[in-house]
Structure 1
């Protein structure tokens, strides 16, 4: 009997978790971009996007077009090296930064 209750509980939890994933892709993409930022950008641009040894990344949409930000991330500029992210990662990072 205990085994049946355990199985029923597990199935219920799986069903509940499955129903909570309405925006799972968006949440995963945001988490992935934040992880990318932490791993590839944070050391120079700071934890709060306010800059450190490199410029701040806030309000980029006031200064640059989406294409310009994409090209800067992909190809680098000045002391910033290019090719730190794949093209797909660069697209996600560009979208994310343009919203900041």
Structure 2
């Protein structure tokens, strides 16, 4: 009985750690925007060259390499159920198990990612 409890406790902790790691390419919350803009570790559309790189760095771990869904839902047809503004709001504020990215991505990157996803029908 004790072994089952230990096993399930460890599984719970591992699962919680995996879920909280979704979008793990983050910046520290205490950095100001000027420091972040000059940071070489921040993935932006201009420095990475493509919105796909932003997706791969921040979204792929939960939504899959081909938008097929993993921990998070499939995004293959996201534009059929959400507008550009709804997609951008979801990226910024999260919700329903998705972490918020408003403090992790620049506004321009959120808009470019939302533009890209809004073409997925």
TM range (shorter): 0.5 to 0.7
Higher helix share goes to which structure? 1
Aligned partner of residue 50 in structure 1, secondary structure: coil
Greater RCO (CA < 8 Å, at least 6 residues apart): 2
Question: Deviations 1:20-73 (Å, cap 9, x if unpaired)?
Answer: xxxxxxxx7994211111110000000010100100011111101111111000
Q: TM-score, normalised by structure 1?
A: 0.66
Gaps of 5+ in 1: 1-27
Q: TM-score, normalised by structure 2?
A: 0.55
Gaps of 5+ in 2: 1-45
2:81 maps to 63
User: Which ranges of 4 or more aligned residues in structure 1 deviate by more than 3 Å?
Assistant: 28-31
CA distance in 2, matches of 1:29, 1:64: 28
Greater CA radius of gyration, 1 or 2?
Answer: 1
Q: What is the Cα-based RMSD across aligned positions, in Å? A: 1.9
Tell me how many residue pairs correspond in the alignment. Answer: 73
Give the alignment partner of residue 96 of structure 2, picking from 71, 75, 78.
Answer: 78
2:107 maps to 87
